[in-house]
Amino acid sequence: MTREWDSEGEEVMDRWDSSLDITNLTLDYEVGVTPQLVVEAIYERIEAYKEVQPSLWIHLESIDNVMSAADELYRRWPEKSGRPPLWGVPFSVKDSFDVKGVPTTIGCPVLAFTPTSSALVYQRCLDAGAIFIGKTNMEQLATGMTGCRSPYGTLHSTFSQSHIVGGSSSGSAVSVSKGLVSFSLGSDTAGSIRVPAMFNGLLGFKPTKGTVSAQGVSPACLHQDCVYLFLVSPLKIRKLSGRSRFKFGTPPDSALEVCMPIYRKQFDHVVAALESSGGQRVELDWTPFASANELLYGGTFVLERLTTLPEGWFDNNKELLHPVIRSVFEGALARHSTAIHVFNDLHKQAKYKRMVEDILTIDNEDGALTVMVVPTTPFHPTIDEVSQDPIGINGKLGAFAHFANVLDLVALAVPCGTYESVDSGVIARLPFGITILAGTGLDRQLLHLVKGLEDTLRDIEDDE
């Protein structure tokens, strides 16, 4: 930031260009930075980044509108005391979140509509003092984990122009990773927050279903959907007494065979670091996790995505959809599933949930939290690789992600070091990450555990 002094010797800041991490930004506000300076810097960054990824924003608020919002915040709370918790914090939303008067496209222009009210979680952010910047690109109908299924254009990882960004909350991840906003609201049905978080070096949290209201958020698969956000670093959480005791399991070697070699190596580093931090590694039954994973796309649950469309719309308008999305839906319909098949899958889901309830627990005697630790994805494909096998690669990316939604687990994707990748002679350093999963309703306990492990996970060695 640039500092000057007025005629009376008071310090005046005329420029800001620092981190949008919420903790850092809050500290800057405490020493006199204004939201107006932050907005100016953000729009300079946004304009510059259009040269790199012009399809990031589906809707971008005008700088005049955003500056007016910043002026109003400063008018209402000129003094530092009493400011709301997100005062002056800029954010974006996935374009499945309703913002009054702004079209919601869900990545599908032919189904776009203009809402007359805003999503509840969006409004809560405004009420807490946050500043809305815009709506970001996403995979059509929130269906996919690659980021390669948008009619608005394909985004890439912020670490490599050759590698996928992840989806379906693609633009949300990019806007945070590139320092254009402090956080972004996204939705997670099968890993749609966690996967792009990993591919862009961010934290991505999937809470217990219903923890954050989905009112005003267009559903993808209603009984699996969760709403939360992307962050650079953990939010402050209410302190729990004592140091977190924890036990952790990992997938068996047979399940980890799907990972590319460098991911196996990095995952081993993480496991060793967790053990050295006091974690007790235990053998956990992987069966219910693997079986639940198959239900999302291998069973009937994928058909629920079609219920988000107007009745009869798909049969009459499917040629208007992205070709890969169309193929996914056609493949699901070709199974000719009946209500019997759906109920069978629901019964399986209930069975696997009961099994996992007895696995991911809190010990009554010592209070130890038992969690499952997995690589967030088994590999990081290039955009070209996905174009050759869009459905197959998408399915493989969910090897350690889908079951979290089916089982309604709490899941936090955490970046853990980087590794070198060479594609067509181009060298890129890509992020690796894990997901830590806890039982239903244990959101606070998992966040407390990860907060205590923050230094350990941050210090995971990069692979050279």
pLDDT tens digits, 86-139 = 999 999 999 999 999 999 999 999 999 999 999 999 999 999 999 999 999 999
- Whether 438 has a pLDDT exceeding 90, the answer reads yes
- Whether 1 has a pLDDT exceeding 60, the answer reads no
Q: Which amino acid is at 113?
A: F
The model's pLDDT over 54-89, given as tens digits with 9 standing for 90+, comes to 999 999 999 999 999 999 999 999 999 999 999 999
Phi, psi of 66, deg, nearest 5? -70, -40
Q: Does the residue 8 lie in any domain?
A: no
Q: Are both 86 and 219 inside the same structural domain?
A: yes
Q: Are both 223 and 267 inside the same structural domain?
A: no
User: According to the model, what pLDDT value does residue 218 have?
Assistant: 96
- Helices 323-333 & 390-397, crossing angle to 10 degrees? 80
Peptide bond into 168 cis (omega under 30): yes
Q: Are both 127 and 199 inside the same structural domain?
A: yes
Q: Are both 269 and 366 inside the same structural domain?
A: yes
Cα gap 284→304, rounded to integer Å: 31
Structure-token pair, residue 250: 């990992």
Q: Does the residue 238 lie in any domain?
A: no
Q: Are both 185 and 57 inside the same structural domain?
A: yes
Q: Does the residue 387 lie in any domain?
A: yes
Q: Are both 268 and 338 inside the same structural domain?
A: yes
Q: Does the residue 427 lie in any domain?
A: yes
**Total tally of structural domains belonging to the chain:** 2
**CB contact set of 170 (below 8 Å; sequence gap of 6+):** 136, 137, 138, 139, 147, 150, 155, 196
Q: Are both 217 and 258 inside the same structural domain?
A: no
Alpha-carbon torsion (11, 15, 21, 22), positive or negative: positive
Enzyme catalytic residues: 94, 168, 192
Q: What's the pTM?
A: 0.94
The model's pLDDT over 213-272, given as tens digits with 9 standing for 90+, comes to 999 999 999 889 999 888 887 655 444 444 568 999 999 999 999 999 999 999 999 999
Q: Are both 36 and 168 inside the same structural domain?
A: yes
Q: Does the residue 345 lie in any domain?
A: yes
Q: Are both 379 and 442 inside the same structural domain?
A: yes
- Range with the largest mean pLDDT of 166-180, 212-226, 298-312, 358-372: 166-180
Domain end, chosen from 169, 197, 231, is at 231
Q: Are both 144 and 193 inside the same structural domain?
A: yes
pLDDT cut 70: percent of the chain above it: 94
Q: Are both 79 and 48 inside the same structural domain?
A: yes
CATH number of the domain encompassing residue 421: 3.90.1300.10
Q: Are both 165 and 18 inside the same structural domain?
A: yes
Phi, psi of 88, deg, nearest 5? 75, 10
Domain end, chosen from 208, 231, 254, is at 231
User: According to the model, what pLDDT value does residue 204 have?
Assistant: 96
Q: Does the residue 321 lie in any domain?
A: yes
Q: Does the residue 158 lie in any domain?
A: yes
The model's pLDDT over 271-281, given as tens digits with 9 standing for 90+, comes to 999 999 999 99
Outline where 55-94 has alpha helix (H).
Answer: 63-76
* Phi/psi-derived region of residue 463, left when phi > 0, alpha when psi is between -120 and 50, beta in every other case: beta
439 close to 360: Cβ distance less than 8 angstroms:
yes
> Which domain does 376 fall in, by range?
246-458
DSSP 126-162: HHTT-EEEEEE---GGG--SSS---TT---B-TT-SS
Domain end, chosen from 197, 231, 265, is at 231
- Whether 369 has a pLDDT exceeding 70, the answer reads yes
